[in-house]
Structure 1
Amino acid sequence: MRGRFAPSPTGYMHLGNAWTAFLCWLQVRQAGGVLVLRIEDVDEQRSKSYFAAAVLEDLAWLGLAWDEGPDISGAYGPYIQQERYGKYRVVLDLLRSRGILYPCYCSRARIQSVSAPHAGEHAIYDGHCFGMGTAERLAMTKKPSWRVHVPAQDISFVDGIYGRQRCFLPTACGDFVVRRADGLYAYQLAVAADDGDMAITHVLRGRDLLSSTAQQIWLMQLAGWTAPQYTHVPLLIDSQGRRLSKRQYGISIRQLRSSGLDSQSILSYMAYKGGLVRRAALYTHEELVRQCRLTDIRTDDIVIDDDVESAIHLMRQPL
């Protein structure tokens, strides 16, 4: 097994990020596999090097050790997206050679006004620029983004938590952007190229990314890679039903650490709230690896306590 945790360095790690990291670590350690830490900083405007450094520090403090990453040499590096642009260019050239890459000149306002909403997560592009002629394209002055034209094809996979998924590409994702108008590579292309090139066999991530999986599998198949097995997990949310955010005060790992909490208490709290252990008690890392079962995770999002700091303190009862 080759699993990966791939955080975006756009803020300090919060409890929701730690939840996913913990489950990635747990899945790999239980299988005796290799855990890859990859920094997904393809969004250059929002990503900061000091946040990337903080990710490594917080993960190390939590005791969620990795086997390959920015600070550990490995055969599949580099492990930072901004150092992998050459690999993305190869995939982009492949799409161009297949005749399915095309420039899109549509404004964001137009896309939102004419595209069909999909599952409340994103809009499905109507393909307006795909049929545009050469003369019409030459007359355009706006710098285009680049989209890939998807075929009328089903992509099926079995998710480790949410079961069988069947996605018809034109209605599940539509023609999607692989390079933005500002020249930056889009998330879908970068992630598919990274997972394929790094020989990742298992992907565990938040269920909010479930709707992105079909297009990533399709891109990997086009490039000749074997798609990994996917497990999408419920998110941690507050009592108002809001997913945890890096902008929320008091739930960052740094804030919890500064309040005097230790890593065992935090991991034990997440394991208990997520239904991985039955007792609200303090567990060692070794006990969590032995006792937690990913198959026990329910599909509903997990509501954390309003006073999460006090709730985690209560976990400090040894077994």
Structure 2
Amino acid sequence: MRGRFAPSPTGYIHVGNVWSAFLAWLQVRQAGGTLVLRIEDIDEQRSKGEFVTALLEDLTWLGLTWDEGPDTGGPCGPYVQQERYDRYAAALAQLAAQGLLYPCYCSRARLQAVGAPHAGEHVVYDGHCYGLSKEEQARQTKKPSWRVHVPARTVTFTDGVYGRQDEFLPCCCGDFVVRRADDLYAYQLAVSVDDAAMAITHVLRGRDLLSSTAQQIWLIETLGGTAPAYTHVPMLMDAGGHRLSKRQQGITVRSLRGRGVTARALLSYLAWLGGLLPERRCLSLADLVRQCRFEALRHDDIVLPDDWLSQVSDISKSF
């Protein structure tokens, strides 16, 4: 097994990030596999070097160690996306050679007005620019983004938590952007190229990315790679039922460390809250690997109660 944790350095990691990082680490450690840490920093405006440094420090403090990554190296490097642009350019050239790439001149306002939402996560493109002639393209004044044309095909896969998924590409994603109008590579392209090139066999990530999986499988296979097995896990929410955000105060690993929270208490609490452990008690990392049961993982999103920090403090006393 080769798994990966692939965070974006756009802020300090918080409890929600810890939840998915812990499960990705746990899946690999229970299987005796290799864990890859990849820094997904293609959002050049928001990604910061200071957050990369903090990320490595926070994961190390948590004990969620990796086998290959930007600091340790490995056979599939570089492990920072801004150092992998040549791979993405080659993938675009391959898609163009297959006749699948075309420019899109649609404004954001048009896309929101005519696109059909899919699963509440993204808007499905209506294919407006796919049929433009060379003459029509030449009359455009807006710098285009670049889209890949998907076939009328159903992608079927079995998710590790949510079971069989049958996704008809024109309806679940439509022709999607692989390079933005500002010349930055799109997430869907970069993650697909990297997962294939790094020989990732298992991807564990949040349920919010389940709707992106079919297009990534298709893209990986179209580029000649083998798609990994996917496991999407329920999201960690605040007491109000809102998804945790890097903008929220008091939930970053840094702030928790400052309050005296221990790493093993935090991870043990999250494992219990998510259903992986039957009892709320503090365990070592080795015991977490031995005792956590993935088959007992909850399927519904997990809400942090108002007093969750005091509960974490309480279980730290049981170690």
Q: TM-score, normalised by structure 2?
A: 0.99
Q: Report the RMSD for the aligned CA atoms in angstroms.
A: 0.8
Residue 276 of structure 2: aligned partner: 276
For 2:171 and 2:45, the matched residues in 1 are separated by 30
Contact preservation (8 Å) 1:305, 1:311: no
1:14 alignment partner AA: H
Residue 190 of structure 1: aligned partner: 190
For 1:190 and 1:97, the matched residues in 2 are separated by 18
Alpha-carbon shift at residue 202 of structure 1 (Å): 0.2
For 2:297 and 2:273, the matched residues in 1 are separated by 10
For 2:35 and 2:187, the matched residues in 1 are separated by 21
- 1:264-317: CA deviations, max 9, x gaps? 111011011001111111101011000001111121000112133212101113
- In structure 2, the residue corresponding to 1:35 is in which secondary structure? strand
Residue 48 of structure 2: aligned partner: 48
Contact preservation (8 Å) 1:152, 1:168: yes
- 1:141-187: CA deviations, max 9, x gaps? 11000000100001010000000001000001000000000000000
Contact preservation (8 Å) 2:104, 2:146: yes
Residue 303 of structure 1: aligned partner: 303
Residue 267 of structure 1: aligned partner: 267
For 2:305 and 2:65, the matched residues in 1 are separated by 27
- 1:181-205: CA deviations, max 9, x gaps? 0000000000000000000000000
Residue 66 of structure 1: aligned partner: 66
Residue 211 of structure 2: aligned partner: 211
Residue 151 of structure 2: aligned partner: 151
Residue 163 of structure 2: aligned partner: 163
Q: Which runs of 5+ in 1 are unaligned?
A: none
Aligned residues: 319
Q: Which runs of 5+ in 2 are unaligned?
A: none
- In structure 2, the residue corresponding to 1:314 is in which secondary structure? helix
- In structure 2, the residue corresponding to 1:70 is in which secondary structure? coil
User: Hey, which bits of structure 1, 4+ residues long, moved more than 2 A?
Assistant: none
For 2:305 and 2:249, the matched residues in 1 are separated by 14
For 1:209 and 1:221, the matched residues in 2 are separated by 19
- In structure 1, the residue corresponding to 2:41 is in which secondary structure? coil
- Give 1:20-59 correspondences, 5 Å limit: 20-59=20-59
State the identity %: 64
2:185 alignment partner AA: Y
Residue 15 of structure 2: aligned partner: 15
Q: TM-score, normalised by structure 1?
A: 0.99
Contact preservation (8 Å) 2:262, 2:316: no
For 2:149 and 2:51, the matched residues in 1 are separated by 35
